Amino acid sequence: MEELREAFDSAPEKNYILSAAVPSANFRVTEGYDVPRISKALDLINVMTYDLRGPWDNEADHHAPLNGRDHDNFAFNQMNVAAVMRSWHQKGAPLEKLIMGLPFYARTFTLTSSNQNKPGDSASAPGVPGPFTDEAGFLAFYEVCHMLRTEDGWRKRTDSDGNRYAVRGDQWIGYDTPKSVKRKVIELSTVRVDDFHLRKNIILGEPPQACRLWRRHGLVHRPGRLPRPLHRREVAAAQGCQDSSER
């Protein structure tokens, strides 16, 4: 990774971005990643804050819960989006490089008993395949929308943290909605990490560090919005992102 960083930096066109998709499970990060070291080499760190649960656990549950829930136990206590993002920062990843993963798909389960259908209850198999993706245990968000709108009998519920799921018979679906995605962004903008805050730079970056990154790759930073390509007439405006150490 460091060799690739060096090659990118020495290239004639210095407009390459080096990023990596990294795991959420704490034991994988602890055993396999030198977080401060890779953070120096990477421009962006894409944390896979999804698939935190699945049919492989033999329990029906939301696969990307924002916070811990009443039924969580053992290792699952820290297997939630907020805890994972906090852990990566505490291990040495700069806030301005952290990107929170947002799943636009559901994990589905076949319950062992249709009468035991709460989060954490036993699941005997993945959920039935969707009509379009045709993969057991997985539904695209548009399939979830289609099923909930056109099929009778689905009961929509939320767990103790407000994460959405739906049940019909022995089928269980855990999924995010536009509202829950917005909640993740808003709540993570105020979660405390020691003496720091996980601010909106988890998603978009904030000055001055983010401005340096965007400028480096020919982009204009716009607070609260995605960056856009830098036009020549806007060079002066982009330079306004500089902090005092750059002036």
Beta strands at 19-22 and 44-47: parallel, antiparallel or unpaired: parallel
Residue 245, pLDDT > 60, answer: no
CATH code, 182 = 3.10.50.10
Please tell me the predicted confidence (pLDDT) of residue 37.
Answer: 96
Rounded Cα distance between 122 and 217, Å, is 49
Judgement on whether residues 129 and 15 belong to the same structural domain of the protein: yes
How many residues in the chain? Answer: 247
Do 20 and 133 sit in the same domain of this protein?
Answer: yes
Q: Kindly list the distances between the CA atom of residue 141 and the CA atoms of 125, 138, 181, in Å, as whole numbers in the listed order.
A: 20, 10, 12
Does 52 have pLDDT greater than 90? yes
Do residue 110 and residue 59 come from a single domain?
Answer: yes
Q: What is the dihedral of CA 194, 196, 201, 205, to 10 degrees?
A: -130
Residue 24: which domain range?
2-203
* CA terminus-to-terminus distance, the chain: 31
The C-alpha R_g of the chain, in whole angstroms, comes to 21
pLDDT of residue 212: 53
Same domain, 99 and 9: yes
Looking at the fold, whether 63 and 112 belong to one and the same domain comes out as yes
Type of residue numbered 142: Y
Are 111 and 177 members of one domain?
yes
**pLDDT confidence of residue 235:** 42
| pTM confidence score | 0.77
For residue 200, which of 192, 190, 209 has the smallest C-alpha distance?
190
What digits encode the pLDDT tens for the residues 67-113?
Answer: 999 999 887 889 999 999 999 999 999 988 899 999 999 999 999 99
Q: What percent of the chain has pLDDT over 90?
A: 64
Same domain, 155 and 231: no
Q: What is the pLDDT of residue 15?
A: 76
Residue 107 sits in the same domain as residue 188 = yes
* pLDDT tens-digit readout, 109-159: 999 999 999 999 999 999 999 999 999 999 999 999 999 999 999 999 999
Token digits for 102? Answer: 């947002």
Residue 106: name the closest of 83, 84, 85, 128 by CA.
128
Domain count, the chain: 2
Given a cut of 50, whether residue 208 has pLDDT beyond it is no
User: Among 170, 187, 203, where does a domain finish?
Assistant: 203
Q: What is the pLDDT of residues 168-186, one digit of tens each?
A: 999 999 999 999 998 998 8
Q: Are residues 189 and 156 in the same domain?
A: yes
| Cα 109 to Cα 127: distance, rounded to the nearest angstrom | 4
Predicted pLDDT of residue 216 = 55
Question: Cα separation of 112 and 50, whole Å?
Answer: 24
Q: Are residues 219 and 154 in the same domain?
A: no
Of 119, 93, 109, 103, nearest in space to 41 by CA: 93
Same domain for 132 and 54: yes
Please check whether residues 156 and 245 belong to one and the same domain. Answer: no
CB 234 within 8 A of CB 220: yes
Of residues 8 and 51, more confidence is placed in 51
Q: Is the pLDDT of residue 198 over 80?
A: no
Half-sphere exposure of 119 (CA within 13 A, CB side): 27
